[in-house]
Structure 1
Amino acid sequence: MNLQKLFEMQRQLDEYIEREHPRQEGEDRLSKKILALMVELGELANEWRGFKFWSHDQVPRTRVLVNRTTDDIGFKNIGPEHIKNPLLEEYVDGLHFLLSIGLEIAEPQKIDIARWNAAEADNITEQFLHVMTHAINLGNTLRNNISYYPFEYEWLFLRYIQLGEMLGFTWEQIEEEYCKKNQINHERQDNGY
């Protein structure tokens, strides 16, 4: 995965959003981004389903057939069928916020998750908890003006990448889906989202 390419794409999207939705005086947009990341983590976990011990259906949502069969005036079979991967889509939604947070508090060109040689968790549930813990820790360090937030951000980033690997995503899949969703996000801004 070309992280610098993704950071640059995110920078362009963030600048567009800033123009369309200027920050309000006193607005803590960084805290909102951290909360948004945590919401996306929850949505990702929901698509993964592996924590739902009360359900017989714990199969991750990785394939959904989308078939647009009729248009507004009743014509049949107007759109091609395609498969989407809700699990990957939610992962990439979280990645957008993670990159956006990094653009505000870190120096993306200096991020080197390879230096962190941290073992992944024993299972995906534990990995989700690690990511959420680091997101909370990052929010707390920023809110309390503690200076080691770049360190906490890199840990969060590493754990998030590891989570994607544990969910079975390749770097290529993540980058491809990120590019698709980034384009959709630009189109949403164009259309007054």
Structure 2
Amino acid sequence: MDLKQLFETQRKLDERIVEEKGLQGKDLLAEKYLALRTELGELANEWRGFKFWSEDQKPRTKGSWVCYTGVENGDFINLYENPLLEEYVDCLHFLLSIGNEYHFSVYTALKPTGLDYTILHQFNQLFNHVESVKNCMSMGVLGSYEMLFNGFLNLGRLLGFTDEQIEQAYYDKNKTNHERQYNGY
């Protein structure tokens, strides 16, 4: 996974949103942290494994075929929706955006931990890490962001996603996010 390119791609989207929404000079970090927490909750909801009260605890990995017109070149794009992967990359967008806010640049240190965590444990750890990063980054500690990012990548692996699937889904969603800007989202 080309993390440097992912951070750069996210930076361009963020810059476009700030420009088109007239948000120059506004500190959006609190909104980004809340968005990341919200998306992590939506991801957990699609995973469903924590729902001990439900008979249906299978992850939502199959959606439906969607077809939309590409704004830039007018062609049709067919995607098979995977709600779990889509929510995962929604989280990734905000995680990258937060990293860009702190000029995060340690792209190669992000490797699987090899620890035998459960998905439930990893979700709980990520929620804790988000708060830790929020508190530590004001003091300039990038190690906490690395831990969060590593934990997030490990969650993706635990959910069964390959780096290639994550990267492709990110770019697909990024294109959708740009198209939304064209349409006044």
TM-score of the aligned structures, taking structure 1 as reference length? 0.84
**Structure 1: 5+ residue stretches without partners:** 69-78
Structure 2 residue matching 1:107: 3-state secondary structure: coil
Matched, 1:159 2:151: yes
Instruction: Find the aligned partners of 1:181 and 1:60 in 2 and give their Cα distance.
Output: 20
Q: How many residues of Structure 1 are paired with residues of Structure 2 in the alignment? A: 177
Would you say the 8 A contact 2:112–2:154 is kept in 1?
no
Task: From 114, 117, 124, give the equivalent of 1:129.
Answer: 124
Matched, 1:107 2:104: yes
Would you say the 8 A contact 2:112–2:153 is kept in 1?
no
Would you say the 8 A contact 2:29–2:98 is kept in 1?
yes
2:162 corresponds in structure 1 to 170
Moved over 4 A (4+): 79-82
Instruction: Find the aligned partners of 1:80 and 1:102 in 2 and give their Cα distance.
Output: 30
**Structure 2: 5+ residue stretches without partners:** 68-75
Query: Deviation string for 1:154-189 (max 9, x for gaps)?
Result: 110000000000000000100110010000000111
Instruction: Find the aligned partners of 1:187 and 1:120 in 2 and give their Cα distance.
Output: 39
1:74 corresponds in structure 2 to none
Matched, 1:54 2:46: no
1:94 corresponds in structure 2 to 91
Would you say the 8 A contact 1:121–1:127 is kept in 2?
no
Structure 1 residue matching 2:80: 3-state secondary structure: strand
Instruction: Find the aligned partners of 1:111 and 1:66 in 2 and give their Cα distance.
Output: 34
2:11 corresponds in structure 1 to 11
Structure 2 residue matching 1:64: 3-state secondary structure: coil
One-letter amino acid of the structure 1 residue matched with residue 93 of structure 2: H
One-letter amino acid of the structure 1 residue matched with residue 125 of structure 2: H
Instruction: Find the aligned partners of 1:80 and 1:97 in 2 and give their Cα distance.
Output: 25
TM-score of the aligned structures, taking structure 2 as reference length? 0.87
One-letter amino acid of the structure 2 residue matched with residue 102 of structure 1: G
Query: Deviation string for 1:10-65 (max 9, x for gaps)?
Result: 1110110110123376x441111011001000000000000000000001000122
Would you say the 8 A contact 2:18–2:24 is kept in 1?
no
| Cα distance change on mapping 1:82 and 1:141 into 2, 3 Å | closer
Instruction: Find the aligned partners of 1:17 and 1:67 in 2 and give their Cα distance.
Output: 25
Query: Deviation string for 1:64-97 (max 9, x for gaps)?
Result: 22368xxxxxxxxxx9986310000000000000
One-letter amino acid of the structure 2 residue matched with residue 54 of structure 1: W
1:34 corresponds in structure 2 to 33
